[in-house]
Structure 1
């Protein structure tokens, strides 16, 4: 699934902004959970859709994760593009 195949709600865009601001972490699993400011995101279905859609991904690590099993989340090119489109609107 490419990033353009899911509709980005206001909540999804807020999640992308939090990731861009380096306030988000992801769990390292096949269905990743998103944490913002240390708290579990209230809409994990949207967070997982953003990951599956190619908007966010776990940050590159050296193979080590935090004790919590979380790593920093980062935007992909599609995530940056989605934020750029809404900023221009």
Structure 2
């Protein structure tokens, strides 16, 4: 994932939308796990790729779960799809 969004799957885009809506938390580990609506994400490989690709990040540090937030790259990928992402 290079930050363009062209290679993001529909599932990855849905994960970004959930993060944008404030419905996701993630661990701040080296391989961060993503939880949406309190349930472990079904595609942790995609979650890792979104984090390592710079689309999402944990809003905090430590071993506990913290809110997941979009980075500037994540907001840019979603902006054309939804018109505006806060």
Note whether the superposition's TM-score is higher than 0.5. Answer: yes
Deviations 1:43-80, CA, capped at 9 Å, x for gaps = 00000000000000011x3x566xxx100000000000
Q: Which residue of 1 aligns with 2:70?
A: 75
Gaps of 5+ in 1: none
Q: For the residues of structure 1 that align with 2:56 and 2:82, how far apart are their CA atoms?
A: 18
**SS at the partner of 2:31?**
coil
The correspondence of residues 53-68 of structure 1 with structure 2, limited to 5 A, is 53-59=53-59, 61=60
Runs of 4+ in 1 over 3 A off after TM superposition: none
Q: For the residues of structure 2 that align with 1:5 and 1:81, how far apart are their CA atoms?
A: 8
Does the aligned pair in 1 maintain the 2:5–2:77 contact within 8 Å? no
**Normalising by structure 2, what TM-score?**
0.85
Q: For the residues of structure 1 that align with 2:82 and 2:42, how far apart are their CA atoms?
A: 24
Root-mean-square deviation (Å) = 1.9
